[in-house]
Amino acid sequence: MAKTSMASSFAAVLLDESSSVALYRQLYDRLREAILIGQLPPGTHLPSTREMATELKVSRHTVFNAFELLQAEGYVEGQIGSGTFVARTLPEELLQARAGSQNISLVNPEARPVSQRGKIITRTQIIERTGLPIPFMQGVPALDEFPIATWSRLVAKHWRQSPQELLNYGRADGYAPLREAIAAYLGPSRGVQCNSDQIIVVSGAQQAIDLAARILIDDGDPLLVEEFCYGAARAALLSAGARLVPVPVDEAGLNISVVADSTSARLAYVTPSHQYPLGVTMSTSRRQALLDWANRARAWILEDDYDSEYRYTERPLPALQGMDRNGRVIYIGTFSKVLFPALRLGFIVTPRDLVDAFVTARATLGWCSPTLDQAVLADFITQGHFIRHIRRMRTIYAERQAVLIDALEHEAGDLLEIKPADAGIHVTCSLSNRIDDRAVSREAAELGVVAQPLSAFRVDESVAVRSGLILGYGAYNIRQIKEAARKLGTALKDVSRVARTSANRRRASQ
């Protein structure tokens, strides 16, 4: 039987009593490995032999022997028994191992194997958006405008009054009053047709995408995505084993007719209200064509409606889910953009025959979302704060977007094309393909501005490059937007100048 422990919280140690390898030797191997990979840095004070023996439920003698061997080889120094430290001067082998990660795997290739899926997950790139948002980091709402006083009053009320059952594990499908509040909001505002028992509360849209992929996708299944596509969704779909099939997006949104007759895909992931990242809205006829395809192909549509609460032009088109007569659409909503992302609350509206599968899968992914947060959010919605917040923010965001567009046109209007976005909290501007958007992004970063390159969202690397920048404006005040636009203008001019010079040189040398 294996014994596990966090020996004084710095070395996860796993010893196998049934192994033919002596326990002291196993302990030596584990500690040596922890030292080699830097988990136990030089100078770390190891627990006493008595403490470690108690922790691991082995004899003190076992620990003593392991320490003695480590000391003989120069990995630890000091007084065994009371004051043992990881050596400050490392043996040559250790220095070599530190020099490159390839060497680390030579230490014990079997020590940390990950699955094929684990390897796919390890390869995915995650873009961090932590801390205070930096202009024009996208996907972040105006954190400074969130009604904290109202929220904290509701939090205090719930902590004061909550019955004990709210402290127990919650329901996997979510806190009932919240699901009812969401259902009541979705009908009139998004045209979604559902009852509260079709709603499952999750930790944001990301978890919803992950859940849907786990439930509906087998390894190697083709899955339709928009070209270009939201990176974190792509990562979750790939991690579930899907083979992504990009479908072109134009001014009317995803064009299913390009692949409809040739694909055997059973799932399509789409952002019809506000295509991410291009920003277009899917037309009614394209929506109908997509639904017709799904119905014919007996496929599912995963509708990610991540930021459509903010719409600046005509009345919002109803969600695909509301047009669906055959129960083919799984609708995803999130409170990350409309309230704040750290809340980690979103929801899925599933067709009735999928409810059980989603609820069970939600339970396997950590049971439920925090019940007290759900209770606070339910009150926030039913007491009218939610709608008031949306109305107020729509005016603020419309102004921020207009200021960003004006400022960029003023700073670098000849180098980019920027059209107002109908919805959401980001705009996507196009650059001439002569200008490498990744170079602009790098240059902007040097000046302290985040400008994500559109080309990073391409699914099919063989598709023609389309140069552009995705700029979030929701989280920044007017002064920040103008200042960052000026810096971005400088970055654009610099990169364009370099591109022009090298093009001239090429022409001259031909």
Ligand X SMILES: Cc1ncc(COP(=O)(O)O)c(C=O)c1O
Q: Does 230 bind ligand X (CB under 6 A)?
A: yes
Q: Which of 169, 240, 196 is nearest to 381 (CA)?
A: 196
Q: Does 318 bind ligand X (CB under 6 A)?
A: no
The H or E element that residue 78 is part of is strand 76-79
Structure tokens belonging to residue 127: 């873009």
In the complex, the smallest distance separating the C-beta of residue 379 from ligand X, rounded to whole angstroms, is 21
Handedness of CA 303, 336, 347, 217 (dihedral sign): positive
What is the rounded distance in angstroms from the CA atom of residue 221 to the CA atom of residue 266?
Answer: 8
- Return the residue matching tokens 């088109």: 317
Q: Does 139 bind ligand X (CB under 6 A)?
A: yes
Indicate which single residue of 239, 336, 401, 496 sits in contact with ligand X (rule: CB under 6 A): 336
Q: How many Cα atoms sit within 13 Å of 276 on the Cβ side?
A: 22
Instruction: Report angle CA 177, 183, 184 to the nearest 5 degrees.
Output: 90
Q: Does 306 bind ligand X (CB under 6 A)?
A: yes
Q: Does 205 bind ligand X (CB under 6 A)?
A: yes
In the complex, the smallest distance separating the C-beta of residue 502 from ligand X, rounded to whole angstroms, is 34
Q: Tell me whether residue 22 or residue 127 sits nearer to ligand X (CB atom).
A: 127
Structure tokens belonging to residue 272: 């019809």
Q: Tell me whether residue 26 or residue 428 sits nearer to ligand X (CB atom).
A: 428
Q: Are 297 and 265 in contact (CB under 8 A)?
A: yes
Q: Does 308 bind ligand X (CB under 6 A)?
A: no
In the complex, the smallest distance separating the C-beta of residue 22 from ligand X, rounded to whole angstroms, is 48
Q: Does 204 bind ligand X (CB under 6 A)?
A: yes
Q: Tell me whether residue 228 or residue 293 sits nearer to ligand X (CB atom).
A: 228
Beta carbons within 8 Å of 242's beta carbon, 6+ residues apart = 213, 217, 221, 222, 223, 267
Q: Does 276 bind ligand X (CB under 6 A)?
A: yes
> Which residue number has the CB closest to ligand X?
204
The residue count for binding ligand X (CB under 6 A) is: 13
Q: Tell me whether residue 24 or residue 276 sits nearer to ligand X (CB atom).
A: 276
Q: Does 371 bind ligand X (CB under 6 A)?
A: no
Q: Considering only 43-51, 199-207, 220-228, 486-494, which stretch makes contact with ligand X by CB under 6 A?
A: 199-207
The secondary structure of residue 146, as a DSSP letter, is: S
What are the beta bridge partners of residue 472? Answer: 136, 426
Structure tokens belonging to residue 441: 């992004």
Q: Does 271 bind ligand X (CB under 6 A)?
A: yes
Q: Does 304 bind ligand X (CB under 6 A)?
A: yes
In the complex, the smallest distance separating the C-beta of residue 336 from ligand X, rounded to whole angstroms, is 3
Cα separation values, 401 from 167, 260, 335, 347, 422, Å: 42, 36, 21, 28, 10
Binding site for ligand X (CB under 6 A): 139, 204-206, 230, 271, 276, 304, 306, 334, 336, 341, 346
